[in-house]
Structure 1
Amino acid sequence: MGGPPVSDVRVTDLYDTLPAQVCDRIDALGREHWRRGHAGVPRPADSWCPTRPLLLDADAYALVGAVADRAAGLVLDACLRRVSTAGELLDALSMARTQFPLLDPAEPLTERLLTSIRADVMVERGVPRVVELNIDGAIGGAIEADLVARQFQEVYSGAPGGQDPSGWPLRTPPSAVDAFFTELVSFLGLSEGDCLVVPVFREDGLDHLADLDDFISFLAPMAERGKAHGITVTGYPLDGLTLDDGRRLRAGEHVAHGVFRLFLPVEQAGAGLDALGGALRAGTARMYTPEATSPVSDKRVLAWIWEDLDLLDPADRDFVRRHVPYTVIAGAGALGRDRSSLVLKPGDGYGGAGVTLGRSVEREVWRERLVAAAASGDHVLQQVVDGDLVTFEFAHDTTGEIRSAAVPCVLGPMMYGRRLSGIYVRHAGPRPGDLINTHQGAASNSVLIVDSPTAGR
C-alpha cells in the first residue's frame, strides 16, 4: 500500500458529529434491532452487545489499513535482516521446530507470506498504534466484520437488501470475506470447481468451536461466498481427514485441492493432521496459509524493529515512533522500570493468554512473572497504549437491558493481498476488564464509513 501513511489524519468515532436526526435514527433502530445487527455473530451467554457500529470517515478508515500494512512490511524487513527462511527464523527466535508440525523449514521469507494480516490497533489521542500483528490465514474477524456492518446497514435502510434513504451518510466497507476469497483463490492457484476444505476442530471456552456441527454452521456464509468465486467450500472434522492411495487429501467424499487452516497445528495432533501433512509434503494439496506465517507474527519481531531503529530511513523511524509502542524482549534489566506503564506478553501467545498488565497486579507478582519471562526469553515488554474511549449503548443478551458505557476499542483491519477490506472491532462492555479479547468476554463489532459528516448537532 505504499510508504508510511500521512500522519495528520485523526481516527475518531464520528457519532457526535452527525446531525441529530441521524443519531436519533441510529439510536432508535439500534435499541429495537440490535439482535438483527448481531445475527450470526458468536457471543457468550450473559453478554452485552453494542447497538451500533463504530463510525469512521474514509480517511481514518484508510489510515488504519495503511498503518497495519506498513507495520507488516517493517516486520518482514526485520526478519530478513537476520534470516532468509522459516526454519532459520525459528532458530533465531529459539522456537522448537516441533511446535510447527506443518512448517517447511526451507520456506523462503518473502512478501508472499503477508497475504493475510490483521493488526491489533489501538487509537491513542487519535493516532492508530499497532500493539500486535497477526500474519496468518487463521486470523478471525472477517465473517463478524461483514455481518455486523451489513446487518446494521440493513437495519438503518429499513429492509434486508434495501437501499439506504436519500442522503443517508453511512455505508459499508468492502466485504472482508470476498477479499479473503479473492486472495485465497489466487494464492492457492485454485481453478473453477476445485474443493477447499476447512478442517473444523473443538476448542474449549468458545461455544461456537465446541460443537463441530455448530462450527460448520458458523462457516456457512463463507461457503456461500465460495460459490461466487467458483469453488466448493466444505467444513469437515480435522480428525476425519484421510489420504487416499494417490496421497490426495480426502474429506469424506471430497478431494481437497486446497485447505483453509483455522487452527494451530501443534494443538491438534492426530491422524487427521498427519494426513494433511502428508498431502502437503506430496504436493497434492496446498494450504492457506503455510505455517511459516506464524513465527513472522511473533511479538518479539516488534522488538526487533525497535532494536533496528537506527538502520531505518527517517520516514520509517518516524513511523515506528508514532505507530508502534515501544517494545523490547523482556529481560531482568526491566525490573526497576515503572510497571504501571508496561504490559508483559508472551511472544507467540494469542487470545490474551499469559498477558499481564503491570498496573493490574501487585509488585511481587509482577516481579515473579518478569523474572520468569526473562529466563525463558520468549516474552516482550510493551509500553501500554491508553486507548481513546468511545461511548456506545449496549443491550444485554438475556434481559435486553440498555446501558451506556465509554470503552476503549481494538481495531482489526482485515488485510488480504495487502489491501484493506473491512475492520473487525472488539471492545469492552459495561462490565470493566483489563484485556479486550473475545476469549475473555469482549464484544465483537464492526465499522461503517461516514461519507459526509456534518459537524455540530
Structure 2
Amino acid sequence: MKPGTSSWFGARPFPTTNRSPSDVVSTVLRHELRDCGTWLHTQPVPTEPFALSRPAYDELFTATRSLLALLRRALLEAAPTRQGRLAALGIRSTANSFPFFVGDDDFELRHCDVMARPDIVIGPDGPRFLEFNVGGAFGGPTETHRFSQAWTRLYGGPASGLPFTVDDPHEARAELLEDVCAELGLRRAVALVGNRVDRRCETTRYFDGEAAYLRERGFDAEVLEPHDLPGVTGRAGRLRFPLALRYFSPADWVSRGESLDPVHDLIAAGCVLYPPESSYLVANKKLLCRLSKGESWMNDEERRLVARYLPWTRATSDAKVDWHGEPVDLRRLLMAHQESFVLKQTVGMMGHGVVIGRLCPEPRWTAAVSRALDAGDSVAQEYVEPGRYELEMVAGPGSQPYHVSVAPVLSPLVFGGRPGGVYARYYPDGRAGVVTVARGGAMENVAFAAA
C-alpha cells in the first residue's frame, strides 16, 4: 500500500514491471478513450488503475446489491399505487421529467432496479454511499469498458497473466438484455437510443462500441439518435427494434428543444423502452432519507446495513429531525453546523444543485438552506471526508510520472445483479468536493481487484 493511501483499499499497487512505459500508457488511453467525452487530452493521465483488495472490491458489490434492494422496497412501501408513490416522493408533474410510464405497473416495478451506479467515497470507516444513479442514462459503462480494455492491453493482455480481474459492463448488460428478451418473448434486436451531444462527443463512437458488442452476442443492434427515430417505428408488431436501451435523460432533450414525440411513438408501436420509467424513482434521494431515518418494515440487520453504509440523510423541511438520538430543528442544525452537511436536490445528476457547507461562504450556505427548506425539494446529508489514494499519473509524452493524493469517487456498476466493473472519478490536482466529469472536469479511471 502506498504512503497516504487509505487503509481500506488494502491492496498493493499493481506492479509496473509488466506494464507498458508511461509514454505508451498515455498514448493508448488517449486513443482508446477518444471522442468519449473524457478530459484525457487536456488533463494529466493516470499511469495505473486504482488497486483494491479482493475483499474490498467484493464489499462494494455486496453492499450495492443489498442497498439497492432496500431502495426498491422503500419505493414499493411508500404507497400501493403509482400516483401514491409519486406523491410520496413529492413529484407533482411527470410531463418532462418522467414522461414514459407504461400501463403495466408490475413490469415497471419488476425491472425498476436492474441498472444502477452508486457514487461512493471511502470515509474513515470505509465505503459510504452518497447517492444511487438508477436507470439507463448514467455515465460509466462505456468508460469502464474502454479503460478496462486499455489496461488489459497495457499490462500485456490475459496471456501474460494480468495482476487484476476484469468485470466488463458491456458483458453484464448484454446478459441482462438477453434475460429481458427471453422473459418478454422479444426478438434479440435492440436500439441504443442516445445523443452524442449528451456525451460531449463529435460522433456516436461512445455508443458504437456497445452496439458492436451486442452484435457479437447475436443481437441486431444499432445506435439511434433523435433524428433517426421517426424512421424506425414501422407498423405495430413489425418494429425493427422491439427493445430500446434508454441512453438519455428526457430533461436533457427537452432543455435543448428536442421533441420526445418520436420516443412516445416507439412505445405506442410496441417497443419496450428499457429500463422502465420507475427506475428513475428508485434514484430519488428521498428514498435514501427513508432508509436513513428507518422504516417500520426494516429489520435489525437492514438497519445495521444502512447505518454502516449510508451517511445521515434527511429531506429538507422546517421540522425536527433526529440527530444522534436528540430531536433538533433542522434549520438550526444546518446553520449551526455548516461544515458538517451537504445539500442536494432530490432529483439531479452531474452535481447540479449540490452545495457543500465547508466549501462555500456562509452567505451562500444560508441562502441555500433557506431555499431548500422552503422548496422541500432537497436532502441534507452528513458530509463524509473522502479517503485518499496515492495515484501515479503523467502530464504528457516525455514527462516523468509523479504521484498525487487524490480523493476518488468509486461507482460499482450493477446490471441485473451482475457486477460490471468499478468506475472511478477524481481530480488530478487532488481536490475533493463535487466530483463531476461534465461540469467539473474530473478525470476518469477504473478500480480493479488484485488477482
Counterpart position of 1:15: 12
Structure 1: which amino acid aligns with 2:28? R
Alignment pair present for 1:171 and 2:164: yes
Counterpart position of 1:239: 227
CA shift in 2, pair 1:85/1:231, >3 Å: farther
Alignment pair present for 1:308 and 2:277: no
Correspondence list, 1:107-146, <5 A: 107-108=105-106, 110-125=109-124, 127-146=126-145
In structure 2, what is the Cα distance between the partners aligned to 1:399 and 1:272? 48
Alignment pair present for 1:292 and 2:288: no
When normalised by structure 1's length, the TM-score is 0.84
Counterpart position of 2:26: 34
Query: Deviations for 1:322-358, whole angstroms, at most 9, x for unmatched residues?
Result: 1011100123443323011111101111001111000
SS for the counterpart of 1:103 is: coil
CA shift in 2, pair 1:87/1:394, >3 Å: farther
Alignment pair present for 1:182 and 2:175: yes
SS for the counterpart of 1:318 is: helix
Query: Deviations for 1:11-68, whole angstroms, at most 9, x for unmatched residues?
Result: 405235x7xxx34555x63454233145332323422221110111222111100111
When normalised by structure 2's length, the TM-score is 0.85
In structure 2, what is the Cα distance between the partners aligned to 1:127 and 1:389? 12
In structure 1, what is the Cα distance between the partners aligned to 2:102 and 2:392? 48
Counterpart position of 1:274: 261
Counterpart position of 2:323: none
Shift of 1:192: 9.1
In structure 1, what is the Cα distance between the partners aligned to 2:189 and 2:399? 42
CA shift in 2, pair 1:290/1:244, >3 Å: closer
The one of 244, 247, 255 aligned to 1:259: 244
Structure 1: which amino acid aligns with 2:276? P
Counterpart position of 1:56: 52
Shift of 1:299: 0.9
Correspondence list, 1:197-236, <5 A: 197-203=191-197, 206-208=199-201, 211=202, 214=203, 216-236=204-224
In structure 2, what is the Cα distance between the partners aligned to 1:356 and 1:69? 28
In structure 2, what is the Cα distance between the partners aligned to 1:110 and 1:291? 9
Structure 2: which amino acid aligns with 1:40? E
SS for the counterpart of 1:404 is: strand
Structure 2: which amino acid aligns with 1:103? F
CA shift in 2, pair 1:224/1:367, >3 Å: same
Name whichever of 349-358 and 46-55 sits farther off: 46-55
Alignment pair present for 1:444 and 2:444: yes
SS for the counterpart of 2:221 is: strand
Q: Is the 8 Å Cα contact of residues 137 and 289 (structure 1) preserved in structure 2?
A: yes
Q: Is the 8 Å Cα contact of residues 102 and 265 (structure 1) preserved in structure 2?
A: no
- The CA RMSD over aligned residues, in Å, is 2.6
The one of 60, 70, 73 aligned to 2:69: 73
Name whichever of 105-114 and 331-340 sits farther off: 105-114
In structure 2, what is the Cα distance between the partners aligned to 1:249 and 1:367? 57
Alignment pair present for 1:322 and 2:308: yes
CA shift in 2, pair 1:398/1:354, >3 Å: farther
CA shift in 2, pair 1:299/1:30, >3 Å: farther
Unaligned runs of 5+ in 1: 1-9, 452-457
Percent of counterpart pairs with the same letter? 20
Shift of 1:132: 0.5
Unaligned runs of 5+ in 2: 1-6, 319-328
In structure 2, what is the Cα distance between the partners aligned to 1:155 and 1:89? 48
In structure 2, what is the Cα distance between the partners aligned to 1:239 and 1:62? 42
Q: Is the 8 Å Cα contact of residues 292 and 311 (structure 2) preserved in structure 1?
A: no
Shift of 1:79: 1.5
Q: Is the 8 Å Cα contact of residues 407 and 432 (structure 2) preserved in structure 1?
A: no
In structure 2, what is the Cα distance between the partners aligned to 1:52 and 1:126? 25
In structure 1, what is the Cα distance between the partners aligned to 2:209 and 2:258? 28
Q: Is the 8 Å Cα contact of residues 294 and 303 (structure 2) preserved in structure 1?
A: no
Shift of 1:369: 0.8
SS for the counterpart of 2:407 is: strand
CA shift in 2, pair 1:389/1:220, >3 Å: same
SS for the counterpart of 2:52 is: strand
Q: Is the 8 Å Cα contact of residues 342 and 357 (structure 1) preserved in structure 2?
A: yes
Shift of 1:201: 2.0
Structure 1: which amino acid aligns with 2:262? A
SS for the counterpart of 1:97 is: coil
CA shift in 2, pair 1:359/1:262, >3 Å: same
In structure 2, what is the Cα distance between the partners aligned to 1:219 and 1:90? 32
Structure 1: which amino acid aligns with 2:316? A
Shift of 1:186: 1.8
Query: Deviations for 1:229-255, whole angstroms, at most 9, x for unmatched residues?
Result: 2112211221331165624797xxxx2
In structure 1, what is the Cα distance between the partners aligned to 2:282 and 2:121? 21
